């Protein structure tokens, strides 16, 4: 066991002694996710790191299927700006689209995204 001197300002962020838990480490290692899955997860969070895209995803959750014009009106922006955010969500497999006549309609890909949004919102509200 090794003892370290820790600066006072980092005392709550660093262990003061080195002591790993082999059983816990082994349990975590036995359930590792692939690097490919981790990268995909990070891409979802990266797409949702933009507050406007979170709003758009939440609007799609509440509205079901909305066209680009609906999103633009809800955001108070141009259809080009709304389309840019929707395209990003689509490229990251958060939203899907379908064309009907001259309009393009978007919706969330599946319930996993809805669950992610709902749990994140619930967590945010608990912090208050």
pLDDT tens track for 6-19: 455 656 787 787 77
Contacts of 113 (CB under 8 A, 6+ apart): 57, 61, 94
| Nearest residue to 55 via CA among 78, 104, 89 | 89
Report pLDDT for 10.
Answer: 57
Asked whether the beta carbons of 126 and 119 are under 8 A apart, the reply is no
pLDDT at 9: 61
The token pair at 73 is 């009106």
Tokens standing for residue 107: 């919706």
What's the pTM?
Answer: 0.78
Question: What residues of the chain score a pLDDT lower than 50?
Answer: 1, 6
- DSSP lists the bridge partners of residue 67 as 105
């Amino acid at each position: 066991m090794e003892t370290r001197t820790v600066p006072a300002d980092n005392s709550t962020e660093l262990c003061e002694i080195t002591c790993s838990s082999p059983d816990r480490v082994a349990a975590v290692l036995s359930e590792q996710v692939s690097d490919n899955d981790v990268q995909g997860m990070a891409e979802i969070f990266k797409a949702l790191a933009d507050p406007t895209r979170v709003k758009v995803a939440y609007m799609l959750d509440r509205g079901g299927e909305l066209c680009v014009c609906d999103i633009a009106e809800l955001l108070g922006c141009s259809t080009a700006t709304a389309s840019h955010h929707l395209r990003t969500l689509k490229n990251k497999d958060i939203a899907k689209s379908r064309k009907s006549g001259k309009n393009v309609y978007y919706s969330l890909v599946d319930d996993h995204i809805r669950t992610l949004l709902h749990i994140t919102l619930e967590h945010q509200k608990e912090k208050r």
